[in-house]
Amino acid sequence: MLDWLYEIVAQLIVWIHTGLSTVVPKDSGWAWGGTIILLTVLLRLAMVPLFVKQIHASRKMQELGPEVQKLRKKYKNDKQRLNQEVMKLYQENGANPLSGCLPILVQMPVFIGLFQVLKKISDADEGKGVFAMTADLVKSAQKAPIFGAHIPDTFLNAWGADEKNWTALAITAVAVVISSITTFFTVRASMKRQPVTDENNPMMQAQKMMVFLAPLFGLFGLGFPLGVLMYWVTSNSWTLVQQHYIYSKYPPIGADTNGSGTTKGAPTKSTGTKTKLKKSTEPEPEPEPKPKVVRNQPTRKPRSKRSGSPKR
């Protein structure tokens, strides 16, 4: 079903290997290892626009986070209406939660295609070609030494062999460990970038799952050919560097402020402002109560005294 994909990957390998063969011996590990690394770099360069789109999607989701929380409180007892209102909010603001998953969705077919091509190379009988690769190229790839190991070598096969190839065991084990660690840190970096989270965001759910699956991927890597592990290590290393650069260029919303609405590290306008703010925060002393003024009201004298007539 996916033979067309495998043909494309195999043809890319042939073209890159042919170009490198003009610089290094065509049957060397430098030629075949360099082919895998260069193929990975070219594919990741092609996916840079998707990664930038993922960053913009993440920022848009952060901007809409408070509005989504308001909708949650308003329709907390009606999930169907809540989903409708949230989707309406995303559409009105041009946000797409799934756009953050595009790099992963695009990268997976490449990984599957490369895995299948390298597996076919590893299992190919002598004198057999693989997709766009001739029998001579397949044999050259199988025998090319890469630090004492070969592209078809896997950790499990090297461990289960009667005569263990300790060099192949060491190379594949190191590649598996590096792949697992870099996978964990790339996903963790994506998670830390999103201070305002939406639990129903498919991108967030996929990233949370990836954090816990990173060690499990390491176990799967024990059965991967060295060529696939080289792709994995190169791709993850590229992602770490790319994340550091793009994240510094597009910081998360709110990361450039100190929580008071001003840019972190920005100088204040004047010292008078600081003093005024400081004084406003201190409670003012209560004024002392004024002494009560007692007015002596004249007493009413008897009428007889006012008129001069004797009192009866």
Q: CB 240: neighbour CB atoms within 10 A?
A: 13
Residue 303 token pair: 């009428």
The count of C-alpha atoms lying within 13 angstroms of the C-alpha of 245, restricted to the half-sphere facing its C-beta, is 9
Asked whether residue 262 is assigned to any structural domain, the reply reads no
Model-level pTM? Answer: 0.67
The percent of residues above 90 in pLDDT, for the chain, comes to: 15
Cα–Cα dist 257/255, whole Å: 6
Residues 138 and 121: beta-carbon distance below 8 Å:
yes
Number of domains within the chain: 1
Asked whether residue 76 is assigned to any structural domain, the reply reads yes
Asked whether residue 301 is assigned to any structural domain, the reply reads no
Q: What is the mean pLDDT of the chain?
A: 75
Cα–Cα dist 228/247, whole Å: 28
Asked whether residue 261 is assigned to any structural domain, the reply reads no
Mean pLDDT of 8-37: 92
Asked whether residue 207 is assigned to any structural domain, the reply reads yes
Q: How confident is the model at residue 38 (pLDDT cuts 50, 70, 90)?
A: very high
Residue 302 token pair: 């008897």
Cα–Cα dist 37/33, whole Å: 6
Asked whether residue 254 is assigned to any structural domain, the reply reads no
Asked whether residue 281 is assigned to any structural domain, the reply reads no
Cα–Cα dist 87/64, whole Å: 11
Residue 48, domain extent: 3-249
Cα–Cα dist 196/61, whole Å: 8
Residue 132 token pair: 């766009």
What confidence tens digit (pLDDT) does each residue in 114-127 have?
888 888 888 888 88
What confidence tens digit (pLDDT) does each residue in 209-222 have?
766 776 677 778 88
Give the pLDDT score at 251.
67
Tokens 């204040």 locate to 268
The percent of residues above 70 in pLDDT, for the chain, comes to: 69
